[in-house]
A and B are shown apart, each in its own frame.
Chain A
């Protein structure tokens, strides 16, 4: 091909790429117009491609459109990709908004942290810590502990103890220590209730496979298939006739593990108790309908955007978060409380938990008032 034919082709390709990049850039939404007194937030979402995360964006847009929240949002899509996250951090700093919200795609946030620190713009990091930002997250430890209390009570009522029970916990090592706090503190809480060997939860690490004589930790990678395969492979390690308590870092992993137990004939109503985590349709439906599913850690992911925007505004206006980690809304539901927070017969959220001392300052921003159903606001 000659240079003369290659040049227009290269130009066209470059133009198309530019157009594509422009089209894929941040979208904006806001009630106060493009300028004026609006409080400008640049918000990089984990990904816009998956409904679980997309709804963080759409629900926050819904909050903004509901009244004069005074927010103007510019959206970026981290696309689940660390390189894109870093690129977006630079673009957001370049925007010079009043505050930045970032939902990191991995725990490796040092590079992004440096960019945000250099930008000297107040920022909030959601779910994964970014050193330069204030941190908004669920309390995985509390989720594990509260779930363990509910399941522990149910198991103790059935006479389950160290002589007849195996606890199966599913981790996701790649997600880091914070995420896996839920499973290790689950075990440390349920152990004394059932008389199992007590261990310091900090000694339960990603390489831990057995905990005392009654617990097994498997790597489920937060997904269905690896959890199914891992539990299928360790079935011979679960003493025949033992009751099983199953808890993992999310409902996908729990569902995969549950399928393996059912497939092996170890999933009967009388021999299995499950604690879910996520508050998604799978968990809420199972909590209502499945007698084995007795607790569900509900973390209201779809509203994280609104809480993050509220925190970004509050921090930029001078509020000092009282704790290192500002808690997102969360509650562990059981069969008697599920309909309080989810419309009966549906997984749709009907109410959010009240603010607690460590996140009460969020109401100063005037954003959460536009989120329907936060108790007390």
Chain B
């Protein structure tokens, strides 16, 4: 049986009985905070390494480049964080992102306006989230199978809506979601950072956030404690679906084109980022600071390797290696928690 945790980020401090206070306890840090610090340290190390090899890496312009690329997957990862904390995961984002992108392009081309188009795309993503949530919570289908199914359906729907071709924006002014405005930084970067703050507050300071960690930590215990587990689960996938659809709209704005194939890898990428950020596949653990740093580490690795002219094959291998290390660490931590 898994241990129940109600802590928003990581477990309560644990230590071997009789071993005296750990260095972490002496510093007054929770395990989650310490892990976030270590992750941040790793990000600094990555940045230091690439800067030592090429000073062009550490410029404000390149920092924006990293954020520009990372923000799309960052938005998806914030939704994926909900799913992983709940003890599931959401593969369907790989279909909802392109569906959101194509839908957004079609809507703005039909003169709906950017804001109504965003709202409609969010709603569509939310509807697919409801489908996922009901399949998982009510039909008791494993999240892997349920979201794999909706991944295929939504991915196929995106290609169908686009008729298999690209859907370019008729008016490039509709690309406002990614235009550079405030401080010469692209709008979607601010959207990502703003959403990160909102999700942080929701997970940290609302009863829904506490219920989510409880459900992810131990569903049975959460149910016995009076938490409406099914409702919490459905909301998880609604959030994930809506954010994936928003990421699709952002991606379409970035490319000034809706594409049925853009963003299809976002499922694996977002899971990698969230796991790297400290979430556990077993649920109940994970947080926004770690996820944001996880996204930035992946973005910095891709950017740095491109600047150092590392061939793309090796870049793919490096990303896979990072995922394996992150999952390995996650498993190690889960085993340690179970043992304690």
Chain A interfacial positions (CB closer than 8 Å to B): 49-52, 54, 173, 206-210, 216, 218-219, 223-225, 228-230, 232-237, 252, 255-256, 259, 263-264, 282
Contact present for A173 and B312 (CB under 8 Å): yes
- Which of B29-37, B230-238, B248-256 touches A? B248-256
Partner of B57, one of A50, A206, A210, A236: A236
A51 adjacent to B164 (CB under 8 Å)? yes
A229 to B263 CA separation, bound complex (whole angstroms): 11
Tell me the smallest distance from the CB of B319 to a CB of chain A, in Å: 12
Tell me which of B7-15, B60-68, B272-280, B285-293 binds A.
B60-68
> Once the chains are docked, how many angstroms separate the CA of A321 from the CA of B180?
56
Give Cα distance in the complex from A236 to B50, angstroms: 12
Q: Which of A225, A230, A252, A264 contacts B306 (CB 8 A)?
A: A230
Asked whether, in the complex, the Cβ of A234 is within 8 Å of the Cβ of B262, the reply is: no
**Chain B 300-331 against A: per-residue CB contact (8 Å), 1 yes, 0 no?**
00110011011111000000000000000000
Interface string of B147-184 (1 = CB under 8 A from A): 00000000000010001111010000000001010000
Q: Does B159 contact A209, Cβ atoms closer than 8 Å?
A: no
Which residues of A are found within 8 Å of B259, using beta-carbon distances?
A: 223-225, 252
Given contacts A50-B165, A51-B165, A255-B255, contact A209 B65 (CB under 8 A): no
Interface size class of B (residues with CB under 8 A): 35 or more
* CA of A282 to CA of B255, assembled, Å: 14
7 contacts between A and B (CB under 8 A): A206-B311, A219-B312, A224-B261, A228-B254, A235-B62, A263-B68, A282-B166
**B165 and A229 within 8 A (CB):** no
Q: Which residues from chain B contact A49 at a C-beta distance below 8 Å?
A: 159, 164
A237 touches B311 (CB 8 A): no
Q: B165, A236: Cβ atoms under 8 Å?
A: no
Contact yes or no, B256 A259, CB < 8 A: yes
Contact B262 A224, beta carbon cutoff 8 Å: yes
B111 interfacial contact with A, CB 8 Å: no
Which residues does B use to contact A, with CB under 8 Å? Answer: 54, 56-57, 59, 61-62, 65, 68-69, 159, 163-166, 168, 178, 180, 186, 251, 254-257, 259, 261-263, 302-303, 306-307, 309-313
- A236 engages B65 (CB within 8 Å): yes
The reply to whether A225 and B313 contact each other, CB–CB distance below 8 Å, is: no
User: How many Å from the CB of A223 to the closest CB on chain B?
Assistant: 6
Q: Give the CA-CA distance A255 to B166 in the complex, in Å.
A: 11
> Which residue in chain A gives the minimum CB-CB distance to B299?
A233
With a CB–CB cut-off of 8 A, which chain B residues contact A263?
A: 68, 178, 180, 186, 254
The dominant DSSP class at the A interface is helix
Contacts of B306 in A (CB 8 A): 218, 230, 233-234, 237
A49 to B303, CA, bound (A): 35
**Alpha-carbon distance A280/B312, docked complex (angstroms):** 28
B65, A235: Cβ atoms closer than 8 Å: yes
Contacts of B303 in A (CB 8 A): 233
Q: Kindly provide the distance from the CB of A122 to the nearest chain B CB, expressed in whole angstroms.
A: 31
Contact of A209 among B164, B261, B262, B309 (CB under 8 A): B309
Contact A236 B309 (CB under 8 A): no
Taking a contact as CB atoms under 8 Å apart, the answer to whether B257 and A255 are in contact is: yes
Closest to A47 in B: B164
Given contacts A207-B311, A225-B251, contact A52 B256 (CB under 8 A): no
Kindly report which residue of chain A lies nearest to residue B256, judged by CB atoms.
Answer: A259
Q: Which residue of B lies closest to A229 (CB)?
A: B69
Q: Which listed residue, A52, A224, A232, touches B257 by the CB 8 Å rule?
A: A224
Most buried by B among A49, A173, A232, A282: A232
Set of chain A residues within 8 Å of B313, measured between Cβ atoms: 173, 206-207
Nearest residue, chain A, Cβ from B266: A225
B62 touches A225 (CB 8 A): no
What is the bound-complex CA distance between A216 and B312, given in angstroms?
13
The listed residue (B62, B255, B262) touching A236 by CB distance below 8 A is B62
A255 CA to B57 CA in the complex, in Å?
A: 25
Closest 7 CB pairs of A and B: A233-B306, A219-B312, A50-B164, A209-B309, A236-B56, A207-B311, A225-B262
A131 to chain B, nearest CB (A): 26
Complex Cα distance, B167 from A51, in Å, reads 13
Specify which chain B residues have a CB less than 8 angstroms from the CB of A50 in the assembled complex. Answer: 159, 164-165
Cβ–Cβ contact A282 & B168, under 8 A: yes
- Within the complex, the shortest CB–CB distance from B165 to chain A, in Å, comes to 6
Collect the chain A residues with CB atoms within 8 Å of residue B186's CB: 263
B144 to chain A, nearest CB (A): 22
Most buried by B among A51, A216, A225, A259: A225
